[in-house]
Amino acid sequence: MSAVTDQDDLTSSPGARGGHQPGRTVTGWRRRIPGHGNIHVVFATLALGAGSYTVLQSMVMPALPVIQHDINASQGTVAWLLTAFLLSASIATPILGRLGDLYGKRGMLLVVFGALSLGSLISGLTDSVCVLIAARVIQGLAGAVFPLSFGIIRDEFPVNRVPWAVGVMSAMMGIGSGLGIVLAGPIVDALDWHWLFWFPLMISGAAVLATLLFIPESPVRAQGTVNLPAAATLSLWLLALLVGLSKGASWGWTAPGTLGLFAGAVVGFALWAWVESRSPVPLIDLRMMKIPAVWWTNVAAILLGFGMYAGFLVVPPLLQTPREVGYGMGASVTVSGLYMLPSTVAMLVVSLLIGRVNARFGSKGPLVAGSVITGAAYFLLVADHHDPWAFIVMGIVQGTGIALAFSSMTNLIIGAVRPDQTGVATGMNANIRTIGGTLGAQIVASLLASGTLPSGYPRESSYTISMAVLGVATVAAAVACLLVPVARAARSGGPAGGAPGGPATNASATASGQPATAAVTATPATGDLPAPAAG
């Protein structure tokens, strides 16, 4: 079969693509497929897979009691359906992101979409809790969809479209999670819990086929190999930390097992840092993590993850509490999910407008504003959680804040690192959000369990304190955001912030102490991408 150069591709005008590499070849049969390499088709493919993953992340949460009863499992065992998924995603995301940087993002994207499809297929077929947990581990490998997608966007999209595309993909983390909560009740009521996996399987299967047909090969490759000792030690401390966080509420935070896991996490982290610092080919370059824009954005990420994911453990149960208890709305699982719909819609609307927002304000301003707005949503429920309108307004405000923050956060990370570091840098950022969410969920679970009524429901004050804690965490994220330094593009129009389109990123060079090109003004650090075109 004949091969054609990328210069003949249909995606955009010559030179418009950020990751263009002269001489890159595309096999003739895929080149002739309508839509191959078209940025709109590529983006739709990435969004399909990311949506399937994030929906699966949250969809099982409202259905855990139903699954527990149906497969005759204990509450502690069935909780591993969430824990196993988060553990797998946390360990796989930076490793598979690095593999994508090294060997090709399209190939690794096929692997993660395939894993998501396989795990969903097994989950839909089984009634065994052990097999279901194993399937959730397989599904969790798809957490790498985000760093791989960000890398493909940076490689393939025109420079002025990167912030918009990255922003919408980042918001998919919140949109998909919210949509999963909304859809779980109707699906379980109308069909059964197995369909919680059949529907995402259809979407991820379509994403596999679309990736094969429409997404070009990666033009940007990192040098080196996979550092296996670093991967092993990274897995060790993440495993110890997340298991300790997930079991602390049930075992007791001062129980020997919990303290032992936390001690293991500390030792494992130190060992991992030692291995990475002495490796000529680190899995995660710790110097990159010390870049001020990367560091402070990751601090904000853990606090925002704390606020968003833990919110799913507060709002739906509060809505479902019977009014006879003295508070709550007495809503069903389905109705409580519908109360979350305004949040999901707000995330979608804001993410579609993020290009114009970034064009006007850059990425740092929306990150700060989004953190403050998210905190305000929780404080609103502290003041009033007895009226339906409060939950509806809270959802709109929270969705707006999360979309602004998540959409802007990844743009700051991408703008601070070299193109060949995109996968691992954004993978760690997504990972840190997951760790923050796990930490927040366990703290909230402990607060709700600390004081219960004779009926078994948490005291109203426990919900109030939990919402106040989430509000404080997200406002603290805003403080971290204020410390993110930003580089600005000069009027000459050169790319800044590590956007694709030029040789090694200017902003990341500034931040890491490397010589910067004339396209960036002499500002003290790094972080922002060039302003995109409207939309």
What is the pLDDT confidence band of residue 23, given thresholds at 50, 70 and 90?
A: very low
CB neighbourhood size of 270 (10 A) = 12
User: What SS3 state is found at 27?
Assistant: strand
Residue 81 above 50 pLDDT? Answer: yes
pLDDT band at 205 (very low <50, low <70, confident <90, very high): very high
Question: Identity (one letter) of the amino acid at 490?
Answer: A
Q: What percent of the chain has pLDDT over 70?
A: 82
DSSP string, 230-287: HHHHHHHHHHHHHHHHHHHHHH-TTSHHHHHHHHHHHHHHHHHHHHHHT-SS-SS-HH
- Give the pLDDT of residue 137: 92
The span from the CA of 142 to the CA of 448, in Å, is 31
pLDDT value for 191: 86
Q: Is the pLDDT of residue 355 over 60?
A: yes
Q: So what's the pLDDT on residue 134? A: 93
Given this model, what pLDDT does residue 76 score? 66
Report yes or no: 480 and 299 within 8 Å, Cβ to Cβ: yes
Least confident of 152-156, 186-190, 270-274, 506-510: 506-510
Residue 319 has pLDDT above 80, yes or no: yes
Cβ-Cβ contacts under 8 Å for 199 (sequence gap 6 or more): 183, 187
Q: Is the pLDDT of residue 523 over 80?
A: no
pLDDT at 257 over 60: yes
Q: What is the pLDDT of residue 454?
A: 81
pLDDT category of residue 217 using cuts at 50, 70 and 90: confident
**What pLDDT is attached to residue 98?**
81
The DSSP 8-state label assigned to residue 33 in this structure reads: S
The 3 state secondary structure assigned to 373-410 is HHHHHHHHHHHCCCCHHHHHHHHHHHHHHHHHHHHHHH
**pLDDT tens digits for 362-410?**
788 888 999 999 999 999 989 888 888 989 999 899 889 988 888 788 7
User: Looking at residues 475-489, what average pLDDT do you find?
Assistant: 79
Q: By C-alpha distance, which of 524, 527, 526, 518 is closest to 490?
A: 518
Cα separation, 83 vs 438, in Å, equals: 9
Among 414, 430, 301, smallest CA distance to 358 is for: 414
CA-closest candidate to residue 315, choices 286, 340, 347, 285: 340
What is the reported pLDDT for 518? 31
Output the pLDDT for position 34: 56
Whether 214 contacts 91, CB under 8 Å: no
DSSP helix/strand/coil, 74:
coil
Is 153 or 508 the better-scoring residue by pLDDT?
A: 153
Which stretch, 180-189, 195-204, 280-289, 436-445, has highest mean pLDDT?
195-204
Structure tokens, 202: 């259809």
Q: Which residue has the higher pLDDT, 312 or 273?
A: 273
In this prediction, residue 496 carries a pLDDT of 37
Report, as an integer, the average pLDDT of 174-200. 86
Please list the residues that pair with 26 across neighbouring strands: 4
Q: In the structure, how many helices (H) and strands (E) does the chain have? A: 21, 2
Which of the 8 DSSP states describes residue 5?
A: E
259's CB contacts (< 8 A; 6+ apart) are: none
Question: Is residue 68 scored above 60 in pLDDT?
Answer: yes
Residue 480 sits at the vertex; the CA angle it makes with 345 and 310, to the nearest 5 degrees, is 45
Say what the pLDDT of residue 291 is. 84
Task: Between 207 and 5, name the one with better pLDDT.
Answer: 207
Band of residue 110 on the pLDDT scale cut at 50, 70, 90: very high
Residue 522 pLDDT exceeds 90: no
Query: CA 525, CA 50: separation in Å to the nearest integer?
Result: 31
Q: Is the dihedral of CA 243, 246, 247, 253 positive or negative?
A: positive
C-beta atoms surrounding 448 within 10 Å:
21
Residue 31: which pLDDT band, with cuts at 50, 70 and 90? low
For residue 13, the 8-state DSSP code is: S
**With 60 as the cut, is the pLDDT of residue 262 above it?**
yes
pLDDT at 436: 84
pLDDT band at 176 (very low <50, low <70, confident <90, very high): confident
Lowest pLDDT segment from 155-164, 286-295, 332-341, 479-488: 479-488
Number of residues assigned to the chain: 535
Burial 415-445 (b: 16+ CB within 10 A, else e): bbbbbbbbbbbbbbbbbbbbbbbbbbbbbbb
